[in-house]
Amino acid sequence: MNDQSNPNSLEQLLCFNVYSMNLALSRFYKVAFGKTGMTYPKFVVLSALEEAGSLTVSELSKYAGMESSTLSPLLKRMADYGVLSRVRSSEDERRVMIALTDMGREAVALVREVVLEGLKGLDLDPPQTSQLVRILGEARARIEGAEPARHLEFGRMPPPLLDC
């Protein structure tokens, strides 16, 4: 029943493959991080800060591809724990500057090792992987600036899917 010849099947859809690959990766790293409290989104935040230095919430949002409403509570908990600092800018009181603490730098170094060794253990083909990364990056750039060509309308299908 696995209709792989059908080009519209789930298995041939880019979005499904990205979706399920992301779920698989999240589970993989969840196991690797165990009960330490580390998660993949937190690793992304720590890495972004390590690479880019001090950032405002919206700059970090752009860098990590997450909305600020996702970051706000995440950053608050991480600051309470001590891996980063949240300081409202004095020259523009709207902005909040986020930066790694020393403890944050230690943490990201440790976590990065685990992430990289986890990847290495998968024995993926390096040229294929870098190609994957390149094409994914290009596709993401397109999709981030795009509007859907068509919107779903359930007018013909009473009742609409609200609250489903």
Amino acid, res. 52: A
Only one residue has tokens 């979706």, namely 19
Q: Which one of residues 9, 17, 27, 129 is an interface residue with DNA (CB under 7 A)?
A: 27
Return the sign of the alpha-carbon dihedral for residues 52, 34, 82, 64. Answer: positive
| 56 and 97 Cβ atoms separated by less than 8 Å | yes
Asked whether the beta carbons of 50 and 105 are under 8 A apart, the reply is yes
Rounded CA separation 61/43 (Å): 14
> Which parts of 68-107 interact with DNA (CB under 7 A)?
68-77, 86, 91-96
Smaller CB separation from a copy of itself, 93 or 159: 159
Binding to a copy of itself (CB under 8 A) within 131-150 occurs at 131-133, 135-137, 139-140, 142-144, 146-150
**67-96: contacts with a copy of itself (CB under 8 A):** 77-78, 80-81, 83
Q: Choosing among a copy of itself, DNA, none, which partner's interface includes residue 75 (Cβ < 5 to 8 Å by kind)? A: DNA
Residue with smaller CB distance to DNA, 96 or 108: 96
Q: Which does 46 bind (CB under 5 to 8 A by kind): a copy of itself, DNA, none?
A: none
Distances (CA, A) of 47 to 41, 70, 95, 114, 126: 10, 17, 21, 13, 22
> Which positions touch DNA (CB under 7 A)?
19, 23, 26-27, 30-31, 37, 39, 41-42, 56-59, 61, 65-77, 86, 91-96, 163
